[in-house]
Structure 1
């Protein structure tokens, strides 16, 4: 088994839904930890430093969901279908019990997996997350979607959304990007179709509906919710709301950090996640 995410090759598996999924994995042992990436992200958008820290004592698997990056098919426009496709990928690997770390859009999908297939998910980490139907979540601020949602990806715009204006945060962001995009075998870039479908899913998830907030109270797995204190994409108040709705959920807000807090504070966040995952059920 390759023990370094930056060196891990891209593997492929065909699920029962007919989709061939691209994935990378590293580490071994324990309950597998499945990673669900953010809006427009692919396998390369996971910081190798974070993944390696998570994989010291467990198997960690990152994958491109349907229509994303190197995976086949067409990206669906609903979180519910993304969750069904993620379950199909997990079943294709013959995994019967998993931990899940969902980041941003991936955290919406993670919630849906835990609600749809509760017997599958042992523990759940929700990074930069919000519950479905939360008021004020109906689309991102215009400057945010302009920064990360244009037809051509803009690294400077990504830095503006994922990191704060402080020199420390910005330097951490530039360093993280350097770690992400220095590999010899890059993943296939995400397409404009993926961008459009994923943003449709994000906007639909955020249509205000107080009755939908009750859904997450049914999550049975232990949950750790985390965010940066200056996240402009998923405002910290939504993480507070989510943690308050899920019985027994843990919450941590990281300082001087925006949407990419988990990369900026990768050592601390990884230690927090490992501690949470290693707790006795």
Structure 2
């Protein structure tokens, strides 16, 4: 099997006229990964992608206006979901599993609501429901670390990993894989315009509106909700709220980890995802 760190970057043109950049490794039932705020194809941990691709096809992509994909990044999660559906349809896929991370987990929820027949099972990592109180934008320390024009390795580690020697050590290893394993044909960096549009989408998603929480009852697919116990970006209590509102959900909180728990605990998380998807 081709490793994610050497996988070819391909492109497919959807009916909306957007050329979507994507990578695909493994064979079997398709698992589509939806990326976090400001992330592109290169921001997935190759170790996680390779582990997930044991026995299934893992597909990553840049949504509209992100990285090497054409078009303009929309400023609502709903529009991002419709764009993701355009990409999945362009690949000729009729039914997929979804793994959404952070902003990508918001998009995954909307895909399941907009096109329920497309989705089999859903994994929501570092996630929250739309309209939850306290989610209207991130804490100033968090957006200051990851939302500026320029960010540093220290700021990345401070948000994605817990302030303990074990978590920070795992974070340094993950950062080495994410930013160092692929040395050629790296993806186009996300633009400042994309960052602004995505953060607009995040804040709109977080406008307090308890009526929005009722929408989750329409997601009837099995859902695996996961988070790190020290996530400063999307607090674990939102994962518990989300799992409680979904009709068929299970939850796991990973210890001594934060927003990037799925990279720190990539082996355990991949095993948990496989067990869930194969159930």
Structure 1 partner of 2:54: 56
Whole-angstrom distance in 1 between the partners of 2:117 and 2:153: 39
1:221 positional shift: 1.0
Q: Secondary structure at the match of 2:117?
A: coil
Alpha-carbon offset, residue 217 of structure 1: 1.1
What is the Cα deviation at residue 220 of structure 1? 1.8
Aligned twin of 2:128: 130
Structure 2 residue 166 is the aligned partner of structure 1 residue 178: no
Show structure 2 runs of 5+ residues with no match: none
* TM-fit CA distance, 1:248: 2.1
Asked whether the equivalents of residues 162 and 168 of structure 2 are also in contact (C-alpha less than 8 Å), the reply is: yes
TM-score normalised by length of structure 1: 0.98
- Aligned residue in 2 for 1:267: 267
> Is residue 233 of structure 1 aligned with residue 233 of structure 2?
yes
Which of 17, 22, 41 pairs up with 1:43? 41
Report Cα offsets for 1:90-131 as digits up to 9, x if no partner. Answer: 011000000000000000000000011000000000000000
Q: Quote the residue 1:166 is aligned against.
A: 164
Q: Secondary structure at the match of 2:59?
A: strand
Q: CA deviation at 1:154?
A: 2.0
Check if 1:16 corresponds to 2:15.
yes
Tell me the residue number matched to 2:219. 219
1:119 match: secondary structure: helix
CA distance in 1, matches of 2:132, 2:73: 24
Q: State the alpha-carbon separation in 2 of the partners of residues 193 and 96 from structure 1.
A: 32
| Other-structure match for 1:258 | 258
* Inter-partner Cα distance in structure 2 for 1:25 and 1:190: 20
> How far apart are the structure 2 equivalents of 1:217 and 1:236?
20
Q: How many residues align?
A: 277
Q: TM-score of the superposition, structure 2-length normalised?
A: 0.98
Residues in 2 aligned to 1:256 and 1:93: alpha-carbon distance in whole angstroms: 38
CA shift for structure 1 position 137: 0.2
Q: C-alpha separation between the residues in 1 aligned to 2:76 and 2:239?
A: 21
Map of 1:208 onto structure 2: 208
Q: CA deviation at 1:153?
A: 2.6
The residue number in structure 2 matching 1:151 is 149
Deviations along 1:64-115, whole A, 9 cap, x unmatched? 0000001000100000000000000001100000000000000000000001
Q: Give the deviation of 1:3 after TM superposition.
A: 2.3
Q: Which of 81, 89, 92 is residue 91 of structure 1 equivalent to?
A: 89
Tell me the secondary structure at the aligned position of residue 207 of structure 2: coil
1:68 equivalent to 2:53? Answer no
> How far apart, in 2, do the equivalents of 1:14 and 1:177 lie?
31
- SS of corresponding position for 1:267: helix
Partner in structure 1 of residue 189 of structure 2: 189
- The DSSP-based 3-state class of the residue aligned with 1:181 is helix
Q: Return structure 1 stretches of 4+ with deviation > 2 angstroms.
A: none
Distance 1:24 1:168 in 2: 31
